[in-house]
Structure 1
Amino acid sequence: LAGQTIFLASDAGPGYEPAKLLSLVPQGAHGEYFLDRYHYLQKIEHTLGRHNELAMRAIKAVRHHDQAELTIILDTYESQNLTEKQADDLTRLRKYLQQNWRYILSPQMRGFKDIHLIGSVESSHRAFTYRMKKQGKS
């Protein structure tokens, strides 16, 4: 694998932090970590609301890697009359995006023009995981 680029992606949850995953890359290879798009978009929709215009604008800002626009959108949402839970969720979202901002850049934005999709789709593993996780199955 010397001289090869290894692409890694996760939701950066416990045990799947960028530093931990990048430490698995063999010596001589180059690791590129990406924040899993599905999960960070889901976090934005969960926090701001699926059908909220601000959520759609926030997703667009993240896709264009426009941190200034995202900050304006999140500040606008925060200025609304939020419940304590909504305010806590927003604080967690801000922290999550801030900690992982550099990993949101797509392969194309990082100069990998021939890479279009990375990783696998979790839903395609359902049949396998169903067999492995149900009682008495292996």
Structure 2
Amino acid sequence: SDGGSGYEFSQFNEIVTGCLCHEHVRDAYHVNQKIKQRLNFVPELQAELKKAIRHHDWSEIELVLTTAESTILIDEEEVETHQKEQIRLLKGYLNRNWDYLMPLYKRGLGENLRGIGTCESNHRPYSYRVKGHGKYWSKDGVRNVVYVIEGLKNETLEHAILEEMPEYNKQQSVQYKEALKAAHKQVAHQSHEGVRHGSIFHISSSSSSIGRLNKVLSTV
């Protein structure tokens, strides 16, 4: 989860009530985004902070943040105040989410698992199709779109369609297949005449506005 409103541990815990194990993790994309936003004045330390998170070592976190604070320009009061506030906010964010930043391999789920785990990045095939760009859906409509996307991702769509519409599997004629192939072939390049040149006769280019227009057309 990204930890936003409605996506806290308690919300997920309610969804999976009764499961034997619930491992809640912060989405890596949003964690990295927060680091980039807060430490934009010391980009060279961003990778070090990400490494400290992967190690899940709070002493490393404090070392990186202390180093970042030491780079602040104390002779510019406004900048100093802003950058110190960014560090304070980032430290608070990491502290609040510390339990959820523990990598999977440190949770006893298997040594080969790396990263902090994420499911949110897998939402993109759905969210890109059904959100934004002024799209609006009925409840049934958005459910059907998600079913189609899910079927394509899991390669189960054709099987599902055939169960409902066996006629979908009818063999197409040879002529139809050939026509389809022909339609997909790239059309051969055709040369074009391009821009035509124009001119206005019997008018001097220096005597009037029409003459100036003649000069422009002659140089096109």
Question: TM-score normalised to the size of structure 2?
Answer: 0.50
Shift of 1:120: 4.1
Q: 1:31-60 CA deviation, whole Å, 9 max, x = no partner?
A: 110011111111111111287211111111
Q: Distance in 2 between matches of 1:90 and 1:29?
A: 38
Name the structure 2 match of 1:87.
84
The 3-state SS of whatever aligns with 1:77 is helix
Query: Which of the pair is proportionally richer in helix?
Result: 2
Q: Are residues 28 and 119 of structure 1, via their aligned partners in 2, closer, same or farther at CA, if it must alter by over 3 Å?
A: closer
1:134 aligns with 2:131: no
Give the counterpart letter for 2:119 in structure 1.
Answer: G
Q: Distance in 2 between matches of 1:43 and 1:35?
A: 12
Gaps of 5+ in 2: 74-78, 138-220
Gaps of 5+ in 1: 1-9
Name the structure 2 match of 1:33.
24
Shift of 1:71: 0.4
Structure with larger Rg: 2
Q: Distance in 2 between matches of 1:129 and 1:31?
A: 29
Shift of 1:13: 2.1
Q: Distance in 2 between matches of 1:115 and 1:54?
A: 25
Query: Which of the pair is proportionally richer in strand?
Result: 1
Which sits farther off after the overlay, 56-65 or 111-120?
Answer: 111-120
Name the structure 2 match of 1:110.
107
The percentage of aligned residue pairs carrying the same residue is 30
Q: Distance in 1 between matches of 2:120 and 2:12?
A: 16
Q: Distance in 2 between matches of 1:56 and 1:118?
A: 19
Shift of 1:126: 0.7
Aligned residues of 2:26 and 2:100 also touching (Cα < 8 A): yes
Name the structure 2 match of 1:72.
63
Give the counterpart letter for 1:97 in structure 2.
Answer: L
Aligned residues of 2:27 and 2:120 also touching (Cα < 8 A): no
Question: TM-score normalised to the size of structure 1?
Answer: 0.76
1:56 aligns with 2:47: yes
Q: 1:78-134 CA deviation, whole Å, 9 max, x = no partner?
A: 22226233222221111110011111112222121276664142433312223xx62
Give the counterpart letter for 1:127 in structure 2.
Answer: R
Give the counterpart letter for 1:110 in structure 2.
Answer: R
The 3-state SS of whatever aligns with 2:82 is helix
Shift of 1:11: 1.7
Q: Distance in 1 between matches of 2:13 and 2:19?
A: 13
Q: Are residues 32 and 73 of structure 1, via their aligned partners in 2, closer, same or farther at CA, if it must alter by over 3 Å?
A: same
